[in-house]
Amino acid sequence: MAFDILEPGLATSVQDQGRFGHYNVGIPQGGAMDQLSASMANALVGNTPGDAVLECAYLGPRFTTDADAVIAVTGAPVEVRVNGTPMTEWSRLTLAAGDEVSFGMLSGGTRYYIAVQGGVDVPEILGSRSTYALGALGGLQGRTLKAGDTVPVGAPSGSLPTMDEIPEVLRPVYAKEVTIRIMPGLYDHRLTAEGMETLLSAAWKLTPVADRTGLRYAGPDLEWKPRTQPFGAGSDPSNIVDAGYAIGSIQVPGGKEPIVLHRDAVSGGGYAMVATVISADMDVVARSAPGTLTYFEPVTMEQALAARADAAKVRRAVWG
Amino acid sequence: MSHAPQHLDPARYTWGGDEFLFVEISESMSLAANFKANAMATRLVARAIDGMVDICPANASLLLRFDPDVVLPDELEALVREVEEEVAHLSEQTLETRIIEIPVWYDDPYTRETGARFRKGHQRPDGTDLDFAAEENGLSSPEEFIRKHHESPWLVSMVGFVAGLPFMFQIVPQEDQLEVPKYLSPRTDTPPLTVGHGGCFACIYSVRGAGGYQMFGIAAAPIFDPAQKLADFSDFMIFFRPGDIVKFKPVDEAEYRAIQAEVDAGTFTYRQAPVTFDLQKALTDPSAHNRDILEKLNGI
């Protein structure tokens, strides 16, 4: 079976949990930006956590199904419609062959996910179905969806679970103000003490320059320690000899507008990173809409690992 | 004459959140620092550590991704420090690798046209990137710069940024390195296979997209082939590996078109030969080292 795409939406792509083990040659992990929401959609339709879903950014697609199907939509708050009738998000929906699915406007956040029982069945490339558009790799022909596309759906792998909606208490929130926990490190010693203090105390506003590669925040300038640049590092104090970029790392080119690299990160470059978003808060960054006021809170490795364990508890509550 | 520094202090270890360990071998670029990064990476791959997700050697550093649910950060750091010790006590600093000839159409119309579109705000708004590069290096002409660019081989010191993009460091003494500042403001467009340069590094853009390196020419054959149509890509869609040695070969338009026709027909293969990269020899007598490895290409 398949979905026939009538309108593609702004940047709808096939994503799963990601493509690991090829970052050393510049292929990023990719995968759903908001992993928890994508995973919850899969849980509702009886998939495994590794099945591929459609990730929709802002403006969703309009499509019909060519056979009966079971779907769920989770993530940023949006009106879901089947044949024009409003349906609920975060719950299992049953479609009959020929039904048309469409979406209204977002009322918060940025991305939502459509899971279908059986999963989106594009070929696995290097162990993942995720779309890496820059490398024209994975997903549907290595790109975001276009009108006229046929999105293949796999055969159901198991039966439907008892749970037919995600309890409200487990659903992520889409706030206009967020605190993101970070671990200072990498090249943080290159900032002045005031520069680091500014990073940790300012209210950073997410700019519209935010996509799967990275998100740029507006706020005060950060001051770098002056130095004689090492050979090969470039002339600006924020430059380093090109190095690998951690996913979630924060770089501050020229001391202006910090950038948080996300799941389609460029794997390396010549800008000093001064901290890294902890793994448990990468989804929180992904859910932030432009304009979101963001505070960066420093934590230790122990605190980061405790937060990671807490996030795992939420996943267990969904998957059992 | 000063050589690149041969003595390296112990590396600096720092965390990139709860999933990344960053090992800075040296703040400055040198063949020795890159050799150490790659030697550590090779040994870490061989150890097949449970919970290690990615081992990414870079120019003068190493980025490791791990799963802290499988290997504790402190345990991982101890293992990596062990490997650093091993590498520090190597009696032989050699790398079995390959030399590859990369045909390049220097001063081609594609990068010229793109350069012209992004002239506003460039360090040299009224010339080309090649004019700027020649001046920055005190050379008499762009032709002189091009000659220096292709006459000595380059070591692939890192692969990344985007899929399959090689960063290359020329195997010449530090005072002979070609250094060119990056664009003041990055371009939003770069033709695929552009041969670029930023700081002391050359690169080949594997895909079309944004870029900040000065543009000197265009490589004639692909270096990233997701469809794996060409024989050089039958094992993997990405051609370059850290430690590869590159010899640029200037080609004219007719040769460029002929290579493109071979690529389209699926018959193109790169000229390449196995070589041994010897760090001490490359540092003490780069001319002899380079002559020896370049000779290996002659028999092909």
Domains annotated for chain B, with CATH where assigned, are 12-91 (3.30.1360.40), 96-298 (2.40.100.10)
Query: Shortest CA distance to B77 belongs to which of B13, B11, B18?
Result: B13
Give me the DSSP letters along B94-160: EEEEEEEEEEEEET-HHHHHHHHHT-TT-SSTTS-HHHHHHHHTT-S-HHHHHHHHHHS-EEEEEE-
Nearest to A100 by CA among A4, A20, A232: A4
Please, what's the b/e burial string for A256-284 (b: 16 or more CB within 10 A of its CB; e: otherwise)?
ebbbbbbbbbbbbbbbbbbbbbbbbbbbb
- Return the residue matching tokens 């430690």: B243
- Residues B38, B42, B44, B49: what is their CA dihedral angle, to the nearest 10 degrees? 140
- What residues contact residue B126 under an 8 Å CB cut-off, 6+ apart? B119
Domain end among A170, A200, A224: A170
Q: Are residues A148 and A66 in the same domain?
A: yes
A134 contact residues in B (CB cutoff 8 A) = 162-163, 207, 209
Q: Is B34 helix (H, G, I), strand (E, B) or coil?
A: helix
B258 touches chain A (CB under 8 A): no
- The beta-carbon contacts of A28-31 under 8 Å, at least 24 apart in sequence, are A28/A132, A28/A247, A28/A263, A28/A264, A28/A265, A28/A266, A28/A267, A29/A247, A29/A263, A29/A265, A30/A128, A30/A130, A30/A131, A30/A132, A30/A138, A30/A212, A30/A263, A30/A264, A31/A128, A31/A130, A31/A263
Residue B211 C-alpha from the chain's centroid: 15
Contacts with A, B 97-156, CB within 8 Å: none
> Which residue's entry shows tokens 């890192």?
B158
Q: What b/e string do you get for A190-210 counting C-beta neighbours within 10 Å, with b at 16 or more?
A: bbeeebbebbeebebebeeeb
pLDDT of B186? 81
**Rounded to whole angstroms, how far apart are CA atoms A213 and A92?**
31
pLDDT score at B6: 61
**B177 backbone dihedrals φ, ψ, rounded to 5°:** -65, 140
Check if A271 contacts B (Cβ < 8 Å).
no
A117 and A203 within one domain: no
List chain A residues with CB under 8 Å of B206: 26, 135
Min Cα separation A27/chain B (Å): 5
Residue A244 has its nearest CB partner, among B61, B69, B182, at B61
Chain A positions touching B242 (Cβ under 8 A) are 24
Count the domains in chain A: 2
> Using an 8 Å Cβ cutoff, are A274 and A238 in contact?
no
Q: Are residues A103 and A193 in the same domain?
A: no
Query: Each residue of B2-34: pLDDT tens digit?
Result: 444 467 999 999 999 999 999 999 999 999 999
Q: Which residues contact A9 (CB under 8 A, 6 or more apart)?
A: A56, A57, A58, A59, A60, A61, A62, A103, A145
**pLDDT tens, position by position, B166-199:** 999 999 999 999 999 888 888 889 999 999 999 9
B62–A contact, CB cutoff 8 A: yes
Contact B204, B166 (CB under 8 A): yes
Write the residue in B29, B68, B165 that is nearest to A305 by C-beta: B68
Please give the average per-residue pLDDT across A60-78, as a whole number.
Answer: 98
Same structural domain, A76 and A199: no
Q: Indicate the SS3 state at residue A91.
A: strand
Given this model, what pLDDT does residue B1 score? 36
Determine, for residues B17 and A23 on separate chains, whether the beta-carbon distance falls below 8 Å.
Answer: no
Range of the domain at A29: 2-170
Which of A139, A170, A201 is a domain's end point? A170
Q: Is B207 within 8 Å of A134 when comparing Cβ atoms? A: yes
Two tokens, residue A137: 């790799």
Question: What's the CA gap between A68 and A104, in Å, rounded?
Answer: 23
Å from B294 to nearest chain A CA? 25
Selection from A146, A150, A44 nearest residue A88 by Cα:
A44
Judge residue A97's burial from the number of C-beta atoms within 10 Å of its C-beta, 0-12 exposed, 13-18 middle, 19 or more buried: exposed
Secondary structure of chain A: what % helix, strand, coil (to 5)?
A: 20, 35, 45
* For A264, nearest residue in chain B (alpha carbons): B162
Question: Which residues of A are less than 8 Å from B241 in CB distance?
Answer: 25
Contact B164 A240 (CB under 8 A): no
A131 reaches B (C-beta below 8 A): no
Beta strands A100-106 and A111-116, pairing class: unpaired
Question: What is the per-residue pLDDT for B7?
Answer: 79
For residue B92, count CB atoms less than 10 angstroms from its CB and return exposed for 0-12, middle for 13-18, buried for 19 or more.
Answer: exposed
Same domain, A85 and A186: no
pLDDT for A235 equals 82
Do residues A14 and A130 make contact, with C-beta atoms less than 8 angstroms apart?
Answer: yes
> What is Dmax (Cα atoms) for chain A?
67
- From the CA of A215, how many Å to the nearest CA of chain B? 16
Is B223 in the A-facing interface, judged by CB distances under 8 Å? no
Q: Select from A26, A134, A230 the Cβ nearest to the Cβ of B160.
A: A26
Boundary residue ending a domain (A136, A170, A204): A170
Size of interface A-B (CB pairs under 8 A): 185
Using the structure block, give the residue that is written with the tokens 């505070």: A295
Same-domain check for residues A190 and A291: yes
Whether residue A11 is found in the same domain as residue A160: yes
A142 and A51 assigned to the same domain? yes
Q: Using a CB-CB distance cutoff of 8 angstroms, which residues of chain A are in contact with residue B27?
A: 230, 233, 240-241
Task: State the Cα–Cα distance between residues A265 and A19, nearest whole angstrom.
Answer: 12
CA A243 vs CA A113, A258, B60: distances in Å: 33, 17, 7
Query: Domain check: are A155 and A185 in the same one?
Result: no
Pairing label, strands B272-278, B214-219: unpaired
Give CA–CA dist B267/B174, Å, rounded.
39
Q: What is the CATH number of the domain that holds A276?
A: 2.40.100.10
Residues A188 and A147 in one domain: no
Whether residues A152 and A185 share a domain: the answer is no
Spans in chain B with pLDDT lower than 50: 1-5
Model confidence, pTM: 0.95
B28 to chain A: which residues are within 8 Å by CB? 230-233, 241
CB-based contact B61 A241, cutoff 8 Å: yes
Tell me, yes or no, if A105 comes closer than 8 A to chain B by beta carbon: no
Q: Sheet of A53-57: strands edge to edge?
A: A13-15, A53-57, A111-116, A69-75, A92-95
Distance CA B186, CA B36 (A): 31
Residue B246 to residue B48: CA distance in whole angstroms: 29
A141 contacts in chain B (CB < 8 Å): none
Positive/negative CA dihedral, A171, A175, A179, A181: positive
Q: Which residues of B touch A253 (CB under 8 A)?
A: none
Say if residue A239 is in the same domain as residue A295: yes
Kindly state whether B221 is in contact with chain A, defined as any CB-CB distance less than 8 angstroms: no
Least Cα distance to A73 among A88, A58, A57, A51 occurs for A88
ipTM summary value: 0.97
Record the tokens describing residue A163, joined without a space. 């749970």
For B158, the closest of A182, A242, A304 (CB atoms) is A242
Check if B65 contacts A (Cβ < 8 Å).
yes
